[in-house]
Amino acid sequence: MKHTNENRLEFVVDDRYEGKELKEILYGEMRLSSRLVRRLKRNQGILVNGNRITFHARLRKGDKVEVVMADEANQFEPENIPIAVVYEDIDLLIVNKQPGLVVHPTKGHPTGTMANALVYRMKYTGENFKIRFVNRLDRDTSGLVVIAKNPYAQQELSKQMQKNQVEKIYLAVAKGTMEEDHGTIDAPIGRPDPEDIMRKVYEGGQPSVTHYEVVRRLKDATVVRIKLETGRTHQIRVHMAHIGHPLIGDELYGYTDKELIGRQALHAGQLIFNQPRTKERIEVRAPIPQDIKTLIQKLS
């Protein structure tokens, strides 16, 4: 499968698909979801040799199948907010989010978000894609946030996450000295009270699995590397509090001391995934922020 820009996919029919119906290529070789195919169909975005044909039409060797994804407008206002781009390709943009920055506008934070910053950046890059966040981080968690530039990239990475093919690795500083060098927290997480922002471990929650490994033991604190198997809201914060080692600086679930750090000591530092089109395994890292480095120094 080839591409000419972020909004176009191409496939030239070979021996494997000669005589097959168009829909078999869309769902098979091109791996498009039913939802995306329906959207493309509405927008007349599926062509064979430059023409629209029925999904049941049988194709010949050498036919060129094109998928054209129409640009969609952003609803966010541009704002000049500094952001650190650590990876970019034709399909994806990955930002190392600073603590204190909200990912997208909400009722409580209608402006001043990463989404506003990304729209501002497009004024200078000349790009114009709808911002699709593949993952999100809490306001006071720093680290890697993935933005898809088109619906195909969003679809493919979402599939990888559902199949646990994306490795999400965090660094955290937890209260207390953890005795075990490594372990797994397998405890369901949910929100019993829909009006309450806090999540809890309880039987009616969603399956949630967190793996941890001790990196360094400090004075009444532990630096841990955490790998998520699932991605529930506040998962790391809830699970670490559940085992008696809440994150230092976590005002909601943890132990706070403004003289140590002004936010939860949690950083999304590493992502490993397959590039949506090429399937190349990509690893992206974000350096440990200064406030967490300072915290570790204070507790050493």
3: nearest Cα among 92, 121, 74, 72: 92
Residue 7 has φ and ψ, to the nearest 5°, of: -105, 15
Picking from 131, 135, 139, 148, the residue whose alpha carbon sits closest to that of residue 77 is 131
Task: Give yes or no: 63 in active site.
Answer: no
Residue from 14, 15, 63, 138 carrying the catalytic annotation = 138
* Active site residues per annotation: 138
